[in-house]
């Protein structure tokens, strides 16, 4: 009797994370007006410790919704706390944001890989890279920002990537944008200040560089995958065998 009930419980446990994602996504979309920095700040307690804990909880919610922009939380933290403290809060929040979907992917198993690659075809060509260097893949995917971060975390968790390797690569790849967003939030009340303008320009530069880097990478991999053009002699004859 125990042997027959165990697989059902395992199935429910594996399905539970996906169900949570779906419910939170429905809740997010049903909100209608969306969530802005002002909305987050309006619900933030004045106590610094409680405010930090609330932001970390929001990072956890964000990790399950996929469509929630992490930039809003990073800017909100930058506005609420001194820059150094805000950066620590955002880095801790990033750990939360990366960890939850990673372990959802790990618990869901290989079946999730097929669903994600079907939904996001860009993932199909990553298994070869992952076998060679999982740290580089974790870092690379965060830098180029070609897919939702939570999807990447789920995928890497489902493929058995070592957690610490995944976390180190993702954190390193996220560091420049996290710093810029934190500084942006610290000066958001004065949008004409050099500090705000510089942070905004750097944020845009990171986004543009990420897109350009991904474009060049796709162009290079596409060129490698193309069959070589048959060579011919000077008289235009058939290819030399």
How do the pLDDT tens digits run along the chain, 241 residues long?
444 444 555 555 555 555 555 555 555 555 555 556 666 666 677 788 888 898 898 898 888 776 677 888 899 899 889 999 999 999 999 999 999 999 988 988 777 878 888 887 777 666 555 556 788 888 888 887 777 888 889 888 988 889 999 999 999 989 998 999 999 888 888 888 888 888 888 888 887 887 777 677 667 666 665 555 555 445 555 555 4
Provide the greatest CA pair distance for the chain: 83
Could you tell me which of 104, 101, 73, 102 has the C-alpha nearest to residue 178? Answer: 73
- Residue 26 in contact with residue 64, Cβ under 8 Å? no
């Amino acid at each position: 009797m125990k042997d027959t009930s165990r697989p059902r419980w395992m199935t429910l446990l594996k399905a539970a994370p996906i169900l949570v994602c779906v419910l939170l996504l429905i809740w997010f979309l049903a909100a209608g007006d969306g969530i802005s920095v002002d909305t987050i700040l309006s619900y933030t307690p004045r106590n610094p410790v409680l405010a930090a804990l609330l932001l970390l909880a929001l990072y956890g919610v964000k990790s399950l919704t996929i469509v929630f922009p992490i930039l809003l939380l990073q800017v909100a933290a930058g506005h609420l706390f001194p820059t150094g403290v805000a950066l620590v809060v955002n880095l801790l929040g990033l750990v939360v944001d990366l960890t939850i979907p990673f372990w959802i992917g790990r618990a869901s198993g290989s079946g999730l890989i097929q669903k994600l690659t079907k939904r996001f075809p860009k993932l199909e060509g990553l298994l070869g890279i992952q076998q060679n260097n999982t740290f580089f893949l974790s870092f690379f995917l965060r830098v180029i920002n070609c897919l939702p971060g939570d999807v990447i975390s789920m995928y890497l968790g489902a493929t058995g990537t070592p957690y610490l390797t995944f976390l180190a690569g993702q954190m390193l790849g996220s560091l420049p944008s996290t710093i810029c967003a934190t500084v942006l939030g610290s000066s958001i009340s004065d949008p004409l200040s050099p500090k705000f303008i510089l942070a905004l320009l750097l944020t845009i530069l990171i986004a543009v560089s990420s897109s350009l880097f991904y474009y060049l990478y796709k162009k290079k991999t596409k060129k490698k995958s193309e069959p070589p053009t048959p060579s011919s002699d000077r008289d235009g004859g058939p290819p030399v065998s």
